[in-house]
Chain A
Amino acid sequence: MTARLLLIATCCYLAGCAPAAVSPEDATADVLPVWDVVEPLQIARAPEQLALDIAVELFDPGVSRDDNAPTAAVRRLESQLLAGDLRDTLARSNQWGVIRLVPEASPLVPVSIRSRILHSDGRDLMLHVRAEDALGSLWFDQAFAFRQGFQGQIGFVGIFNAVSNRLLAIWSAMSPDAQRNLLEAAAVVYAESLAPEAFSGMIERSENGWQLIRLPAADDPMLGRVERIRNQEYLFCDTIDEQYVDLVNRVGPTYALWREATLEQAEWLERYEQRAANREENEGDGEFSRMQAEYAAYRSFRIQEQALFELAEAFDEESEPTVMQTQDRVVRLEGTLASQYATWRGLLRGIYLIESGVATP
Protein backbone atom coordinates (compact mmCIF):
# COMPACT_ATOMS: atom_id res chain seq x y z
CA MET A 1 0.00 0.00 0.00
CA THR A 2 2.93 2.29 0.76
CA ALA A 3 4.09 1.74 -2.79
CA ARG A 4 0.70 2.69 -4.09
CA LEU A 5 0.53 5.89 -2.07
CA LEU A 6 4.01 6.71 -3.22
CA LEU A 7 2.97 6.08 -6.80
CA ILE A 8 -0.05 8.34 -6.60
CA ALA A 9 2.06 11.03 -4.97
CA THR A 10 4.57 10.62 -7.75
CA CYS A 11 1.89 10.78 -10.41
CA CYS A 12 0.80 14.08 -8.99
CA TYR A 13 4.38 15.27 -8.71
CA LEU A 14 5.20 14.27 -12.26
CA ALA A 15 2.01 15.68 -13.69
CA GLY A 16 2.11 18.79 -11.65
CA CYS A 17 -1.47 18.01 -10.77
CA ALA A 18 -2.99 19.62 -7.75
CA PRO A 19 -5.66 17.97 -5.68
CA ALA A 20 -9.09 19.18 -6.67
CA ALA A 21 -10.18 22.12 -4.59
CA VAL A 22 -13.36 23.43 -3.04
CA SER A 23 -13.49 26.11 -5.63
CA PRO A 24 -12.44 24.67 -8.96
CA GLU A 25 -10.37 27.79 -9.51
CA ASP A 26 -8.50 27.36 -6.28
CA ALA A 27 -6.48 24.42 -7.51
CA THR A 28 -4.01 24.50 -4.67
CA ALA A 29 -6.23 23.65 -1.76
CA ASP A 30 -6.09 20.14 -0.37
CA VAL A 31 -9.80 19.48 -0.27
CA LEU A 32 -12.02 17.84 -2.83
CA PRO A 33 -14.51 20.03 -4.65
CA VAL A 34 -18.20 19.71 -4.09
CA TRP A 35 -19.34 18.04 -7.29
CA ASP A 36 -22.34 19.63 -8.91
CA VAL A 37 -25.34 17.44 -9.41
CA VAL A 38 -26.70 17.35 -12.94
CA GLU A 39 -30.02 19.18 -12.87
CA PRO A 40 -32.88 18.57 -15.28
CA LEU A 41 -32.91 20.82 -18.30
CA GLN A 42 -35.89 23.15 -18.46
CA ILE A 43 -37.30 22.52 -21.90
CA ALA A 44 -39.93 24.73 -23.51
CA ARG A 45 -42.59 23.56 -25.93
CA ALA A 46 -41.70 26.49 -28.15
CA PRO A 47 -39.22 29.35 -27.86
CA GLU A 48 -40.49 32.61 -26.37
CA GLN A 49 -41.93 35.07 -28.86
CA LEU A 50 -39.03 37.37 -28.14
CA ALA A 51 -36.29 34.95 -29.03
CA LEU A 52 -32.91 35.63 -27.49
CA ASP A 53 -29.97 34.71 -29.71
CA ILE A 54 -26.94 33.46 -27.82
CA ALA A 55 -23.29 33.17 -28.80
CA VAL A 56 -21.25 30.34 -27.33
CA GLU A 57 -17.58 31.20 -27.54
CA LEU A 58 -15.22 28.31 -28.17
CA PHE A 59 -13.92 27.47 -24.70
CA ASP A 60 -10.63 28.77 -23.44
CA PRO A 61 -8.70 25.48 -23.17
CA GLY A 62 -6.67 26.73 -20.22
CA VAL A 63 -3.40 25.69 -21.88
CA SER A 64 -0.97 27.72 -23.90
CA ARG A 65 -1.18 27.63 -27.68
CA ASP A 66 2.55 26.79 -27.64
CA ASP A 67 2.12 23.84 -25.33
CA ASN A 68 2.72 20.85 -27.60
CA ALA A 69 2.13 18.15 -25.00
CA PRO A 70 -0.46 15.56 -26.06
CA THR A 71 -2.61 16.46 -23.07
CA ALA A 72 -2.66 20.08 -24.24
CA ALA A 73 -3.76 18.97 -27.71
CA VAL A 74 -6.59 17.01 -26.13
CA ARG A 75 -7.56 20.06 -24.08
CA ARG A 76 -7.70 22.24 -27.19
CA LEU A 77 -9.86 19.61 -28.82
CA GLU A 78 -12.16 19.57 -25.81
CA SER A 79 -12.45 23.35 -25.93
CA GLN A 80 -14.33 22.92 -29.19
CA LEU A 81 -16.19 19.72 -28.36
CA LEU A 82 -17.47 21.12 -25.06
CA ALA A 83 -18.51 24.40 -26.64
CA GLY A 84 -20.51 22.31 -29.09
CA ASP A 85 -22.05 20.36 -26.19
CA LEU A 86 -23.11 23.64 -24.57
CA ARG A 87 -24.55 24.87 -27.84
CA ASP A 88 -26.47 21.60 -28.26
CA THR A 89 -27.83 21.80 -24.71
CA LEU A 90 -29.07 25.36 -25.20
CA ALA A 91 -30.68 24.34 -28.48
CA ARG A 92 -32.28 21.30 -26.86
CA SER A 93 -33.92 23.46 -24.19
CA ASN A 94 -35.94 25.11 -26.95
CA GLN A 95 -35.93 28.32 -24.90
CA TRP A 96 -33.74 30.40 -27.17
CA GLY A 97 -33.39 31.86 -30.61
CA VAL A 98 -30.37 30.95 -32.68
CA ILE A 99 -27.39 29.56 -30.76
CA ARG A 100 -24.10 30.25 -32.53
CA LEU A 101 -20.58 29.05 -31.93
CA VAL A 102 -18.14 31.95 -32.22
CA PRO A 103 -14.35 31.91 -31.85
CA GLU A 104 -14.38 34.97 -29.63
CA ALA A 105 -16.70 37.60 -28.18
CA SER A 106 -18.60 39.66 -30.70
CA PRO A 107 -21.46 42.15 -30.40
CA LEU A 108 -23.15 40.01 -33.05
CA VAL A 109 -25.60 38.52 -30.55
CA PRO A 110 -27.31 39.94 -27.48
CA VAL A 111 -25.84 37.44 -25.00
CA SER A 112 -22.48 35.65 -25.06
CA ILE A 113 -21.20 32.81 -22.94
CA ARG A 114 -17.50 32.60 -22.30
CA SER A 115 -16.08 29.47 -20.62
CA ARG A 116 -12.68 28.36 -19.48
CA ILE A 117 -11.64 24.79 -18.77
CA LEU A 118 -9.99 24.72 -15.36
CA HIS A 119 -9.49 20.99 -15.16
CA SER A 120 -10.43 18.05 -17.33
CA ASP A 121 -9.16 14.51 -17.11
CA GLY A 122 -11.86 12.50 -18.83
CA ARG A 123 -13.74 11.85 -15.61
CA ASP A 124 -13.71 15.20 -13.80
CA LEU A 125 -14.46 18.49 -15.45
CA MET A 126 -14.20 21.91 -13.87
CA LEU A 127 -15.28 24.99 -15.74
CA HIS A 128 -15.58 28.67 -15.21
CA VAL A 129 -18.56 30.07 -17.09
CA ARG A 130 -19.39 33.72 -17.56
CA ALA A 131 -22.44 35.06 -19.37
CA GLU A 132 -22.89 38.67 -20.27
CA ASP A 133 -24.97 40.69 -22.65
CA ALA A 134 -23.86 42.92 -25.50
CA LEU A 135 -24.19 45.95 -23.26
CA GLY A 136 -21.62 44.54 -20.89
CA SER A 137 -23.98 43.55 -18.07
CA LEU A 138 -22.91 40.43 -16.27
CA TRP A 139 -25.60 37.75 -16.13
CA PHE A 140 -23.63 35.24 -14.11
CA ASP A 141 -20.07 34.25 -13.41
CA GLN A 142 -19.86 30.81 -11.93
CA ALA A 143 -17.61 27.80 -11.55
CA PHE A 144 -18.91 24.30 -12.17
CA ALA A 145 -17.38 21.00 -11.12
CA PHE A 146 -18.62 17.69 -12.48
CA ARG A 147 -17.58 14.11 -11.97
CA GLN A 148 -18.88 11.37 -14.24
CA GLY A 149 -20.89 8.69 -12.50
CA PHE A 150 -20.20 5.01 -12.93
CA GLN A 151 -23.53 3.44 -13.84
CA GLY A 152 -23.36 3.79 -17.56
CA GLN A 153 -23.46 7.55 -17.33
CA ILE A 154 -20.87 8.36 -19.92
CA GLY A 155 -20.16 11.90 -20.93
CA PHE A 156 -20.86 15.28 -19.48
CA VAL A 157 -24.03 15.84 -21.45
CA GLY A 158 -26.14 17.04 -18.54
CA ILE A 159 -23.65 19.47 -17.11
CA PHE A 160 -24.67 22.35 -19.31
CA ASN A 161 -28.29 22.07 -18.20
CA ALA A 162 -27.37 24.34 -15.31
CA VAL A 163 -25.99 26.97 -17.67
CA SER A 164 -29.16 26.98 -19.74
CA ASN A 165 -31.32 27.08 -16.61
CA ARG A 166 -29.32 30.00 -15.12
CA LEU A 167 -29.74 31.97 -18.33
CA LEU A 168 -33.43 31.20 -18.39
CA ALA A 169 -33.89 32.34 -14.79
CA ILE A 170 -32.37 35.72 -15.63
CA TRP A 171 -34.13 36.12 -18.97
CA SER A 172 -37.51 35.14 -17.51
CA ALA A 173 -37.09 37.57 -14.64
CA MET A 174 -36.92 40.46 -17.11
CA SER A 175 -40.13 42.17 -18.13
CA PRO A 176 -41.12 41.90 -21.82
CA ASP A 177 -40.19 45.57 -22.22
CA ALA A 178 -36.77 45.02 -20.74
CA GLN A 179 -36.27 42.00 -22.98
CA ARG A 180 -37.26 43.98 -26.09
CA ASN A 181 -35.07 46.84 -24.94
CA LEU A 182 -32.08 44.53 -24.65
CA LEU A 183 -32.58 43.07 -28.12
CA GLU A 184 -32.90 46.50 -29.68
CA ALA A 185 -29.94 47.89 -27.78
CA ALA A 186 -27.82 44.88 -28.78
CA ALA A 187 -28.63 45.58 -32.43
CA VAL A 188 -27.50 49.17 -31.95
CA VAL A 189 -24.29 47.99 -30.27
CA TYR A 190 -23.54 45.84 -33.31
CA ALA A 191 -24.21 48.74 -35.68
CA GLU A 192 -22.07 50.94 -33.45
CA SER A 193 -19.19 48.47 -33.73
CA LEU A 194 -19.33 48.82 -37.53
CA ALA A 195 -19.92 52.57 -37.77
CA PRO A 196 -19.43 54.32 -34.44
CA GLU A 197 -19.78 57.72 -36.06
CA ALA A 198 -23.26 56.91 -37.42
CA PHE A 199 -24.74 55.07 -34.46
CA SER A 200 -23.10 56.60 -31.41
CA GLY A 201 -25.22 58.46 -28.90
CA MET A 202 -28.16 56.09 -29.16
CA ILE A 203 -27.21 54.32 -25.96
CA GLU A 204 -26.32 56.15 -22.81
CA ARG A 205 -23.94 54.27 -20.60
CA SER A 206 -23.28 55.05 -16.96
CA GLU A 207 -21.93 53.35 -13.87
CA ASN A 208 -25.45 52.20 -13.11
CA GLY A 209 -25.95 50.52 -16.46
CA TRP A 210 -27.23 51.63 -19.81
CA GLN A 211 -30.27 53.21 -21.35
CA LEU A 212 -31.50 53.12 -24.91
CA ILE A 213 -32.06 56.77 -25.84
CA ARG A 214 -33.31 56.34 -29.39
CA LEU A 215 -33.34 53.89 -32.26
CA PRO A 216 -32.23 54.46 -35.84
CA ALA A 217 -35.06 55.26 -38.22
CA ALA A 218 -36.62 52.12 -39.63
CA ASP A 219 -35.94 53.32 -43.19
CA ASP A 220 -32.34 54.33 -42.47
CA PRO A 221 -30.38 52.88 -45.46
CA MET A 222 -27.43 52.31 -43.15
CA LEU A 223 -29.50 49.79 -41.21
CA GLY A 224 -29.99 47.76 -44.35
CA ARG A 225 -26.25 47.71 -44.93
CA VAL A 226 -25.64 46.72 -41.29
CA GLU A 227 -28.12 43.90 -41.70
CA ARG A 228 -26.33 42.63 -44.80
CA ILE A 229 -22.99 42.72 -42.96
CA ARG A 230 -24.53 40.95 -40.01
CA ASN A 231 -25.76 38.19 -42.30
CA GLN A 232 -22.26 37.83 -43.70
CA GLU A 233 -20.94 37.43 -40.17
CA TYR A 234 -23.58 34.80 -39.51
CA LEU A 235 -22.22 32.98 -42.54
CA PHE A 236 -18.86 32.69 -40.84
CA CYS A 237 -20.52 31.28 -37.73
CA ASP A 238 -22.27 28.74 -39.91
CA THR A 239 -18.93 27.57 -41.30
CA ILE A 240 -17.67 27.15 -37.73
CA ASP A 241 -20.70 25.01 -37.09
CA GLU A 242 -19.88 22.90 -40.12
CA GLN A 243 -16.32 22.50 -38.88
CA TYR A 244 -17.67 21.51 -35.49
CA VAL A 245 -19.90 18.83 -37.00
CA ASP A 246 -16.91 17.56 -38.96
CA LEU A 247 -14.83 17.53 -35.77
CA VAL A 248 -17.45 15.56 -33.88
CA ASN A 249 -17.68 13.03 -36.69
CA ARG A 250 -13.96 12.54 -36.86
CA VAL A 251 -12.90 12.76 -33.24
CA GLY A 252 -16.07 12.16 -31.27
CA PRO A 253 -15.93 8.34 -31.19
CA THR A 254 -12.29 8.21 -30.04
CA TYR A 255 -12.89 10.95 -27.50
CA ALA A 256 -15.88 9.03 -26.14
CA LEU A 257 -13.78 5.85 -25.92
CA TRP A 258 -11.12 7.72 -23.99
CA ARG A 259 -13.70 9.09 -21.58
CA GLU A 260 -15.06 5.59 -21.16
CA ALA A 261 -11.56 4.25 -20.52
CA THR A 262 -10.94 6.97 -17.93
CA LEU A 263 -14.09 6.02 -16.14
CA GLU A 264 -13.17 2.35 -16.29
CA GLN A 265 -9.79 3.27 -14.88
CA ALA A 266 -11.46 4.93 -11.91
CA GLU A 267 -13.77 1.95 -11.42
CA TRP A 268 -10.85 -0.44 -11.67
CA LEU A 269 -8.98 1.56 -9.07
CA GLU A 270 -11.91 1.40 -6.68
CA ARG A 271 -12.12 -2.34 -7.08
CA TYR A 272 -8.37 -2.58 -6.75
CA GLU A 273 -8.43 -0.69 -3.47
CA GLN A 274 -11.14 -2.99 -2.16
CA ARG A 275 -9.11 -6.02 -3.21
CA ALA A 276 -5.97 -4.56 -1.64
CA ALA A 277 -7.88 -3.96 1.58
CA ASN A 278 -9.07 -7.58 1.61
CA ARG A 279 -5.82 -9.03 0.37
CA GLU A 280 -5.02 -10.96 3.51
CA GLU A 281 -8.40 -12.64 3.28
CA ASN A 282 -7.78 -13.64 -0.34
CA GLU A 283 -4.58 -15.58 -0.22
CA GLY A 284 -5.81 -17.48 -3.27
CA ASP A 285 -5.09 -14.46 -5.44
CA GLY A 286 -1.69 -15.31 -6.83
CA GLU A 287 1.04 -12.74 -7.20
CA PHE A 288 0.98 -13.24 -10.95
CA SER A 289 -2.78 -12.65 -11.19
CA ARG A 290 -2.41 -9.39 -9.34
CA MET A 291 0.50 -8.17 -11.42
CA GLN A 292 -1.16 -9.29 -14.63
CA ALA A 293 -4.39 -7.48 -13.75
CA GLU A 294 -2.50 -4.27 -12.96
CA TYR A 295 -0.50 -4.45 -16.13
CA ALA A 296 -3.55 -5.26 -18.27
CA ALA A 297 -5.45 -2.29 -16.83
CA TYR A 298 -2.53 0.03 -17.43
CA ARG A 299 -1.89 -1.27 -20.92
CA SER A 300 -5.53 -0.95 -21.92
CA PHE A 301 -5.76 2.60 -20.60
CA ARG A 302 -2.55 3.67 -22.31
CA ILE A 303 -3.67 2.23 -25.65
CA GLN A 304 -6.91 4.24 -25.49
CA GLU A 305 -5.09 7.34 -24.32
CA GLN A 306 -2.47 7.13 -27.04
CA ALA A 307 -5.13 6.72 -29.70
CA LEU A 308 -6.80 9.91 -28.51
CA PHE A 309 -3.50 11.78 -28.16
CA GLU A 310 -2.55 10.82 -31.69
CA LEU A 311 -5.85 12.01 -33.07
CA ALA A 312 -5.84 15.21 -31.01
CA GLU A 313 -2.32 16.06 -32.10
CA ALA A 314 -3.14 15.42 -35.73
CA PHE A 315 -6.21 17.60 -35.43
CA ASP A 316 -4.31 20.25 -33.51
CA GLU A 317 -1.87 20.68 -36.37
CA GLU A 318 -4.68 21.19 -38.84
CA SER A 319 -5.52 24.81 -39.21
CA GLU A 320 -8.41 24.50 -41.55
CA PRO A 321 -8.69 27.43 -43.93
CA THR A 322 -12.17 28.83 -44.39
CA VAL A 323 -13.41 29.98 -47.75
CA MET A 324 -16.02 32.72 -47.53
CA GLN A 325 -17.87 34.53 -50.25
CA THR A 326 -18.96 38.15 -50.23
CA GLN A 327 -21.07 39.73 -52.93
CA ASP A 328 -18.22 40.15 -55.38
CA ARG A 329 -15.30 38.14 -54.13
CA VAL A 330 -14.22 34.87 -52.58
CA VAL A 331 -11.97 35.12 -49.55
CA ARG A 332 -9.75 32.41 -48.18
CA LEU A 333 -9.11 32.85 -44.46
CA GLU A 334 -6.11 31.18 -42.84
CA GLY A 335 -4.82 30.78 -39.29
CA THR A 336 -6.65 30.00 -36.09
CA LEU A 337 -10.40 30.34 -35.99
CA ALA A 338 -10.05 33.44 -33.83
CA SER A 339 -7.70 35.13 -36.30
CA GLN A 340 -9.89 34.04 -39.24
CA TYR A 341 -12.85 35.59 -37.48
CA ALA A 342 -10.96 38.81 -36.79
CA THR A 343 -9.90 38.99 -40.45
CA TRP A 344 -13.43 38.34 -41.63
CA ARG A 345 -14.89 41.01 -39.37
CA GLY A 346 -12.23 43.46 -40.54
CA LEU A 347 -13.17 42.69 -44.14
CA LEU A 348 -16.85 43.16 -43.42
CA ARG A 349 -16.24 46.46 -41.75
CA GLY A 350 -14.19 47.54 -44.80
CA ILE A 351 -17.04 46.54 -47.10
CA TYR A 352 -19.49 48.43 -44.94
CA LEU A 353 -17.37 51.58 -45.03
CA ILE A 354 -17.03 51.38 -48.81
CA GLU A 355 -20.77 50.82 -49.24
CA SER A 356 -21.62 53.74 -47.03
CA GLY A 357 -19.20 55.97 -48.89
CA VAL A 358 -16.91 56.57 -45.93
CA ALA A 359 -14.04 54.76 -47.64
CA THR A 360 -13.11 54.18 -51.25
CA PRO A 361 -12.45 50.72 -52.69
Chain B
Amino acid sequence: MCLAPLLLACASDPIPVSNADTPVPDMSGHWEVDYARSDSVQTQVNASFREVQRELRRRREAAERGASYQGLPLGDLDKLVAIAKMAELVTESELLEVYQDPQLVRIERENSFALACDLKGARSVPSQLGAETCWWDGQQLHFHVLLPDGLLIKHRFVRSADGLSLSQRTALTAPGVARDMEVVRIFSRYDPEARGYRCIETLSRGRVCTTEQNVSDGGAL
Protein backbone atom coordinates (compact mmCIF):
# COMPACT_ATOMS: atom_id res chain seq x y z
CA MET B 1 0.00 0.00 0.00
CA CYS B 2 1.26 3.43 -0.82
CA LEU B 3 0.18 5.56 2.13
CA ALA B 4 1.33 8.89 0.91
CA PRO B 5 2.31 8.79 -2.69
CA LEU B 6 3.55 12.33 -2.70
CA LEU B 7 5.96 11.60 0.10
CA LEU B 8 6.78 8.05 -0.54
CA ALA B 9 7.89 8.40 -4.09
CA CYS B 10 6.20 5.23 -5.19
CA ALA B 11 7.45 4.29 -8.59
CA SER B 12 4.16 5.23 -10.19
CA ASP B 13 3.80 8.53 -8.33
CA PRO B 14 6.54 11.03 -9.03
CA ILE B 15 7.25 13.71 -6.44
CA PRO B 16 5.37 16.84 -7.54
CA VAL B 17 7.51 19.48 -9.12
CA SER B 18 7.14 23.08 -8.06
CA ASN B 19 5.56 25.25 -10.68
CA ALA B 20 8.26 27.67 -11.70
CA ASP B 21 6.06 29.62 -14.14
CA THR B 22 3.83 31.16 -11.50
CA PRO B 23 5.79 32.79 -8.71
CA VAL B 24 4.68 32.34 -5.14
CA PRO B 25 2.84 35.52 -4.06
CA ASP B 26 4.45 37.49 -1.29
CA MET B 27 3.44 35.86 1.97
CA SER B 28 6.23 37.37 4.01
CA GLY B 29 5.38 39.06 7.25
CA HIS B 30 3.50 38.38 10.46
CA TRP B 31 0.15 36.63 10.56
CA GLU B 32 -2.29 35.96 13.37
CA VAL B 33 -5.22 33.60 13.35
CA ASP B 34 -8.64 35.13 12.68
CA TYR B 35 -10.97 32.98 14.77
CA ALA B 36 -14.07 34.51 13.28
CA ARG B 37 -13.16 33.18 9.84
CA SER B 38 -11.48 29.94 10.91
CA ASP B 39 -12.88 26.48 11.51
CA SER B 40 -13.35 25.31 15.00
CA VAL B 41 -11.89 21.82 15.33
CA GLN B 42 -14.74 20.87 17.61
CA THR B 43 -17.20 21.87 14.89
CA GLN B 44 -15.31 19.68 12.46
CA VAL B 45 -15.35 16.77 14.89
CA ASN B 46 -19.07 17.22 15.46
CA ALA B 47 -19.63 17.31 11.71
CA SER B 48 -17.63 14.12 11.29
CA PHE B 49 -19.62 12.38 13.99
CA ARG B 50 -22.88 13.53 12.51
CA GLU B 51 -21.74 12.10 9.18
CA VAL B 52 -20.80 8.82 10.88
CA GLN B 53 -24.19 8.70 12.60
CA ARG B 54 -25.97 9.34 9.30
CA GLU B 55 -23.92 6.61 7.67
CA LEU B 56 -24.76 4.16 10.47
CA ARG B 57 -28.45 5.03 10.16
CA ARG B 58 -28.38 4.46 6.40
CA ARG B 59 -26.73 1.08 6.92
CA ARG B 60 -29.25 0.07 9.59
CA GLU B 61 -32.19 1.12 7.43
CA ALA B 62 -30.76 -0.77 4.46
CA ALA B 63 -30.30 -3.84 6.63
CA GLU B 64 -33.89 -3.56 7.89
CA ARG B 65 -35.12 -3.40 4.32
CA GLY B 66 -32.96 -6.39 3.45
CA ALA B 67 -31.19 -4.33 0.81
CA SER B 68 -27.47 -4.39 0.21
CA TYR B 69 -25.72 -1.13 1.02
CA GLN B 70 -22.87 0.28 -1.08
CA GLY B 71 -21.79 3.21 1.10
CA LEU B 72 -18.25 4.24 1.94
CA PRO B 73 -16.46 2.25 4.64
CA LEU B 74 -16.75 3.89 8.04
CA GLY B 75 -13.25 3.18 9.17
CA ASP B 76 -11.93 3.05 12.69
CA LEU B 77 -13.88 5.40 14.97
CA ASP B 78 -11.10 5.49 17.60
CA LYS B 79 -8.75 6.70 14.94
CA LEU B 80 -11.22 9.27 13.76
CA VAL B 81 -11.35 10.75 17.26
CA ALA B 82 -7.56 10.56 17.50
CA ILE B 83 -7.16 12.35 14.20
CA ALA B 84 -9.55 15.07 15.29
CA LYS B 85 -7.51 15.68 18.42
CA MET B 86 -4.34 15.63 16.36
CA ALA B 87 -5.84 18.19 14.00
CA GLU B 88 -6.29 20.48 16.96
CA LEU B 89 -2.68 19.90 17.99
CA VAL B 90 -1.07 20.48 14.61
CA THR B 91 -3.08 23.60 13.92
CA GLU B 92 -2.65 25.16 17.35
CA SER B 93 -0.18 27.84 16.24
CA GLU B 94 -1.89 31.19 16.48
CA LEU B 95 0.95 33.20 15.00
CA LEU B 96 2.96 32.69 11.84
CA GLU B 97 5.97 34.55 10.59
CA VAL B 98 6.83 34.04 6.94
CA TYR B 99 10.24 34.68 5.38
CA GLN B 100 10.36 34.53 1.65
CA ASP B 101 12.70 34.99 -1.29
CA PRO B 102 12.45 33.70 -4.87
CA GLN B 103 13.95 30.39 -3.81
CA LEU B 104 12.72 29.78 -0.29
CA VAL B 105 9.55 30.12 1.72
CA ARG B 106 9.88 29.55 5.43
CA ILE B 107 6.82 29.59 7.65
CA GLU B 108 7.76 29.94 11.30
CA ARG B 109 4.94 28.64 13.46
CA GLU B 110 4.48 29.57 17.08
CA ASN B 111 5.30 26.61 19.37
CA SER B 112 6.22 24.36 16.50
CA PHE B 113 8.83 23.67 13.85
CA ALA B 114 9.03 25.80 10.75
CA LEU B 115 7.68 24.64 7.42
CA ALA B 116 10.37 25.51 4.91
CA CYS B 117 10.25 24.96 1.19
CA ASP B 118 13.17 25.33 -1.16
CA LEU B 119 11.33 25.96 -4.42
CA LYS B 120 14.34 25.29 -6.62
CA GLY B 121 16.37 22.72 -4.76
CA ALA B 122 15.76 19.89 -2.33
CA ARG B 123 12.15 19.74 -1.28
CA SER B 124 12.21 16.82 1.08
CA VAL B 125 13.43 16.52 4.63
CA PRO B 126 13.64 12.92 5.72
CA SER B 127 14.52 11.63 9.14
CA GLN B 128 13.83 8.43 10.99
CA LEU B 129 11.00 10.10 12.85
CA GLY B 130 9.14 11.33 9.82
CA ALA B 131 9.43 12.71 6.33
CA GLU B 132 8.50 16.08 4.93
CA THR B 133 8.10 17.32 1.41
CA CYS B 134 6.74 20.46 -0.17
CA TRP B 135 6.00 22.05 -3.52
CA TRP B 136 4.27 25.01 -5.11
CA ASP B 137 1.58 24.04 -7.61
CA GLY B 138 1.12 27.50 -9.08
CA GLN B 139 -1.68 28.41 -6.69
CA GLN B 140 -1.06 26.72 -3.40
CA LEU B 141 1.99 25.94 -1.33
CA HIS B 142 1.86 22.31 -0.17
CA PHE B 143 3.64 20.73 2.79
CA HIS B 144 3.26 17.06 3.63
CA VAL B 145 4.50 15.50 6.84
CA LEU B 146 4.36 11.73 7.21
CA LEU B 147 4.87 10.09 10.60
CA PRO B 148 6.01 6.50 11.17
CA ASP B 149 2.59 4.93 11.82
CA GLY B 150 1.23 6.46 8.65
CA LEU B 151 -0.36 9.66 9.98
CA LEU B 152 -0.12 12.11 7.09
CA ILE B 153 -0.47 15.82 7.75
CA LYS B 154 -1.12 17.91 4.65
CA HIS B 155 -0.95 21.69 4.81
CA ARG B 156 -1.90 23.97 1.94
CA PHE B 157 -1.28 27.70 2.09
CA VAL B 158 -3.00 30.24 -0.14
CA ARG B 159 -2.70 34.01 0.08
CA SER B 160 -5.73 36.10 -0.75
CA ALA B 161 -5.60 38.33 -3.83
CA ASP B 162 -5.51 41.48 -1.68
CA GLY B 163 -2.59 40.06 0.31
CA LEU B 164 -4.34 40.59 3.64
CA SER B 165 -5.29 36.99 4.43
CA LEU B 166 -3.50 33.70 4.43
CA SER B 167 -5.46 30.50 4.40
CA GLN B 168 -3.99 27.38 5.96
CA ARG B 169 -5.94 24.27 5.03
CA THR B 170 -4.77 21.28 7.03
CA ALA B 171 -5.93 17.74 6.31
CA LEU B 172 -5.00 14.72 8.38
CA THR B 173 -5.34 11.18 7.26
CA ALA B 174 -4.26 7.83 8.66
CA PRO B 175 -4.49 4.21 7.57
CA GLY B 176 -7.85 2.77 8.55
CA VAL B 177 -9.67 6.10 8.54
CA ALA B 178 -12.13 6.58 5.72
CA ARG B 179 -12.02 10.35 5.45
CA ASP B 180 -9.60 13.19 5.99
CA MET B 181 -10.09 15.50 8.93
CA GLU B 182 -9.75 18.98 7.50
CA VAL B 183 -9.34 22.23 9.39
CA VAL B 184 -9.16 25.63 7.74
CA ARG B 185 -7.52 28.48 9.58
CA ILE B 186 -7.48 31.98 8.22
CA PHE B 187 -4.68 34.29 9.24
CA SER B 188 -4.65 38.08 8.98
CA ARG B 189 -1.62 40.29 8.75
CA TYR B 190 -0.57 42.10 11.88
CA ASP B 191 2.21 44.43 12.88
CA PRO B 192 4.20 43.01 15.79
CA GLU B 193 5.71 46.45 16.45
CA ALA B 194 2.29 47.82 17.28
CA ARG B 195 1.76 45.35 20.11
CA GLY B 196 4.38 46.67 22.46
CA TYR B 197 5.93 43.27 22.99
CA ARG B 198 7.75 40.70 20.90
CA CYS B 199 8.10 36.97 21.47
CA ILE B 200 10.69 34.56 20.16
CA GLU B 201 11.14 30.81 20.49
CA THR B 202 14.36 29.91 22.26
CA LEU B 203 15.98 26.53 22.60
CA SER B 204 16.59 26.67 26.29
CA ARG B 205 13.70 28.74 27.63
CA GLY B 206 10.88 28.11 25.17
CA ARG B 207 8.86 31.20 24.26
CA VAL B 208 10.37 34.38 25.58
CA CYS B 209 8.56 37.69 25.30
CA THR B 210 10.04 41.11 25.83
CA THR B 211 8.36 44.47 25.97
CA GLU B 212 9.37 47.06 23.45
CA GLN B 213 9.16 50.80 23.38
CA ASN B 214 8.50 52.81 20.26
CA VAL B 215 11.66 53.94 18.53
CA SER B 216 10.72 57.51 19.38
CA ASP B 217 10.73 56.53 23.07
CA GLY B 218 14.33 55.48 22.91
CA GLY B 219 14.40 51.89 21.61
CA ALA B 220 13.73 48.51 23.14
CA LEU B 221 13.66 48.05 26.88
Q: Give me the interface of A with B, judged by CB distance under 8 Å.
A: 2-4, 6-15, 17, 68-69, 254, 257, 265-266, 268-269, 272, 276, 286-288, 290-292, 294-295, 297-299, 301-307
Contact = CB atoms under 8 A, between A and B. Distances in A.
B178 interface: no
Interface string B115-140: 01010011011111111010000000
Nearest to A12: B126
Contacts of B129: 265, 268-269, 294, 297-298, 301
Contact of B130 (A9, A68, A288, A298): A298
B9 A13 contact: yes
A15 B85 contact: no
Interface residues of B, number: 43
Contacts of B36: none
Contact of B82 (A268, A272, A291, A297): A291
8 contacts: A4-B149, A69-B122, A254-B203, A265-B129, A272-B148, A290-B82, A292-B89, A295-B89
A291 B126 contact: no
B164 interface: no
Nearest to B202: A307
A8 B128 contact: yes
A288 B149 contact: no
Nearest to B151: A291
Contacts of B113: 299, 302-303, 306
A287 B3 contact: no
B151 A266 contact: no
Contact of A15 (B1, B81, B83, B126): B126
A288 B76 CA distance: 12
> A4, A265, A268, A291: which has the most chain B beta carbons within 10 Å?
A291
Contacts of A301: 127, 129
A292 B8 contact: no
B99 to A, nearest CB: 11
Contacts of B3: 3, 6
Given A287-B82, A299-B113, A10 B7 contact: yes
Contacts of B148: 3-4, 7, 272, 294
Nearest to B112: A299
B21 interface: no
Contacts of A302: 113, 125, 127
A291 B131 contact: no
A13 B15 CA distance: 11
A6 B203 contact: no
A107 B126 CA distance: 43
A290 B113 CA distance: 20
A3 B4 CA distance: 9
B90 A3 contact: no
B7 A295 contact: no
Nearest to A13: B9
